[in-house]
Amino acid sequence: MKTQVSIPHHEYPANVREFVEQKLQHLERFYDRIVSLRAKLERETETHRVELVANVGNGTTLVVDGRGPLLDSALDEAVHRMGSVLSRHKEKLTDRHRRRGVE
Domain with 39 in it: what CATH number?
3.30.160.100
Q: Which residues contact 28 (CB under 8 A, 6 or more apart)?
A: 1, 34
pLDDT of residue 3: 93
Whole-prediction pTM value?
A: 0.88
- The residue range of the domain holding 49 is 2-102
Give the pLDDT confidence score for residue 4 in this predicted structure: 93
Q: What is the pLDDT of residue 101?
A: 58
> pLDDT tens-digit profile of 52-98?
999 998 889 999 999 999 999 999 999 999 999 999 999 988 886 66
Kindly give, in sequence order, each residue whose CB lies less than 8 Å from that of residue 24, ignoring residues fewer than 6 positions away: 3, 5, 37, 39, 52, 79
Q: Reduce the DSSP state of residue 3 to 3 states and report it.
A: strand
Q: Residue 102's pLDDT is what?
A: 54
* Backbone angles phi and psi of 19, in degrees to 5: -60, -45
- What pLDDT score was predicted for residue 45? 87
Domain count across the chain: 1
Counted residue by residue, the chain has a size of: 103
